[in-house]
Structure 1
Amino acid sequence: MEGPRPPLPATQRKFKTGTTGFMLAIHVGAVFALLPRFWSLQGVIVLAVLYWATVLGVTLGLHRLVAHRGFEAPRWVERLLVLMGTLACQSGPIEWVGLHRHHHLFSDQPNDHHDAARGLWWAHSEWMLHKIPALTEIHRFTGDMEKDPFYRWLDRWFLLLQLPLGAGLYWYGNWAGVPGGGLGLVLWGIPLRLVLVYHVTWLVNSATHAFGYRNFDCPDRSRNCWWVALLTFGEGWHNNHHAYPHSARHGLRWFEFDITWQHIRALRALGLARRVRIAPVFGHRGDAPASA
């Protein structure tokens, strides 16, 4: 895990034009959203609701349900959560899950695509601007998802999800006479939301491999970082997660508040989550994850 990393090979040093251009455009759009002319209470509400839906789609849907199968849910619930997570525009669900499973297999090793030993900026976001070998191995990790035509469609056309969302926001903003109009709601609901969700979720790759404490002696740099946990609905308890990847609950100590886990508890109470896998809680006996 430790030790200096060799420079990237020449084939990986070139920036990917499409991804880099898209990220620049989204960040410019987020800056425009903050202009006073586009400020409105409705914009704040749209941002808050879509932030909740998108982050929860990533943490609850793509991550704990699909990538690690920490619990089971009816197919319509799973697909709805994956659809919410795909709104994050972090590639399609098959690629997202495949890369995440690859990361767990090689966490903080030289072939980890966001290897934290290459530096915080690389782990945070630079890795995605370059050609990474892990993309060629995704099919090794996603056989369960590739059988589903819905997931295959989302993986190919995930960017198109922003079009009906943008059209709806634009229509409502103009119809309701929102300050800043429909364009203001679009800017708050798409580029500003995406930039916030990007950097918040990317902190799990960067900050939680550098800052915080460790409950478990994992063979990587994973750490528990409380402020990342707050922003990411519990994903910041990263050392716990790397110790027990299949646990649907990440916050294991009484003070490790896990918002995503509370949503799973609610789903279970409604009969929409079953076979929930939980790591041993501190103060309880047992070494292996249990079911609840």
Structure 2
Amino acid sequence: MWKKQKEEAEAAGYYWLVKWRVQLFGRQWNFMDIASVVVIFGLHCLALLAPFHFNLSAVWLAMALYVLTGLGVTLSYHRNLSHKSFKLPKWLEYFFAYCGTLALQGSPLEWVSTHRYHHQFTDTWNDAHSPIKGFWFSHIGWIFDYGSRFGSTEGRLNNVGDLRKQPYYIFLHYTYPFHSCTRISTICRGRPAVFGLGLGCEDNTLSPRCLDC
């Protein structure tokens, strides 16, 4: 069984984890790992300061972002793009996909690729957030270990050929950091809004994750 799963993973170009990785020490932290830590903990620290800088406009802004980014990830990234549960007019599909980029969970290509591999190799070492790697790792630790998700750079997007055929998703993939930074700099001009940013993200991560099956 495991041998067959290993062969399927290697055929798909996906990284085969032979053992559980050391989560905090004893491994090489790359730029994405460090960036994830800084952004996630930074936004949560800002959210703690929000009550001391209360502003009704910032509250409405946070609520609007919560709804838009939530739809972007759950409706677009997850149901529409990953599972193809339904079809949308292209303009609406692209709109919700863009909202997903504002959730700081990665580009559509990266999120969908990880989630499809998650279902293909559920609860095995090939699953990016498999529970067999431990409670901490499966819930949040994997977010800080980019290499555990994409050990094979060349093969990590092999399962999203349908999206790679569309220039729009290629554009979002390569310009994803720009859109995230633009969101922060544009809508958070006031100090209360900056503190409310930590409340407005649907999930406040840089990484794709499984919200439900």
Q: What is residue 48 of structure 2 aligned with on the other side? A: 34
CA-CA distance at 1:40 after TM superposition? 1.6
CA-CA distance at 1:133 after TM superposition? 5.3
Summarize the Cα distance change of 1:95–1:170 in structure 2 as closer, same or farther, 3 Å threshold: closer
Q: What is residue 167 of structure 2 aligned with on the other side? A: 149
TM-score by length of 2: 0.77
**What is the aligned counterpart of 1:185 among 187, 193, 204?**
193
Q: What is residue 48 of structure 1 aligned with on the other side? A: 63
Distance 1:98 1:25 in 2: 22
Distance 1:20 1:97 in 2: 22
User: SS in structure 1 opposite 2:191?
Assistant: helix
Structure 1 contact 102–134 (Cα < 8 Å) conserved: no
**What is the aligned counterpart of 2:73 among 58, 70, 77?**
58
Q: How does 1:126-141 map to 2 (within 5 A)?
A: 126-130=141-145, 131-132=147-148, 134=150, 136=152, 137-141=155-159
Q: What is residue 125 of structure 2 aligned with on the other side? A: 110
Q: Structure 1 residue runs of 4+, over 3 Å off?
A: none
Summarize the Cα distance change of 1:75–1:128 in structure 2 as closer, same or farther, 3 Å threshold: same
Aligned residue identity for 1:79: Y
Aligned residue identity for 2:73: V
Distance 1:54 1:148 in 2: 22
Q: Point out the more displaced range, 32-41 or 135-144.
A: 32-41
User: SS in structure 2 opposite 1:31?
Assistant: helix
Structure 1 contact 16–129 (Cα < 8 Å) conserved: no
Q: What is residue 12 of structure 2 aligned with on the other side? A: none
Overall identity of the aligned pairs, in %:
29
Summarize the Cα distance change of 1:164–1:19 in structure 2 as closer, same or farther, 3 Å threshold: same
* Structure 1 unaligned residues grouped into runs of 5+: 172-181, 206-234, 242-292
Largest Rg, 1 or 2: 1
Aligned residue identity for 2:38: L
**Cα deviation code 1:85-143 (max 9, x no counterpart):** 11111111101101110000001112111111111211112113221254533332010
Summarize the Cα distance change of 1:20–1:9 in structure 2 as closer, same or farther, 3 Å threshold: closer
User: SS in structure 2 opposite 1:168?
Assistant: helix
Aligned residue identity for 1:132: S
Summarize the Cα distance change of 1:163–1:20 in structure 2 as closer, same or farther, 3 Å threshold: closer
Distance 2:167 2:52 in 1: 43
**Cα deviation code 1:232-274 (max 9, x no counterpart):** xxx5xx4xx4xxxxxxxxxxxxxxxxxxxxxxxxxxxxxxxxx
Q: What is residue 4 of structure 2 aligned with on the other side? A: none
Distance 1:109 1:22 in 2: 24
Task: Indicate the RMSD between aligned Cα atoms, in angstroms.
Answer: 2.9
**What is the aligned counterpart of 1:7 among 20, 26, 30?**
20
Q: What is residue 33 of structure 2 aligned with on the other side? A: 19
Does residue 89 in structure 1 map to residue 104 in structure 2? Answer: yes
Distance 2:79 2:53 in 1: 36
Aligned residue identity for 1:186: V
Higher RCO structure, 1 or 2 (CA under 8 Å, sep 6+)? 2
CA-CA distance at 1:9 after TM superposition? 8.1
TM-score by length of 1: 0.58
CA-CA distance at 1:183 after TM superposition? 2.2
Distance 2:85 2:150 in 1: 24
Aligned residue identity for 1:115: S
Distance 1:76 1:100 in 2: 23
Q: What is residue 175 of structure 1 aligned with on the other side? A: none
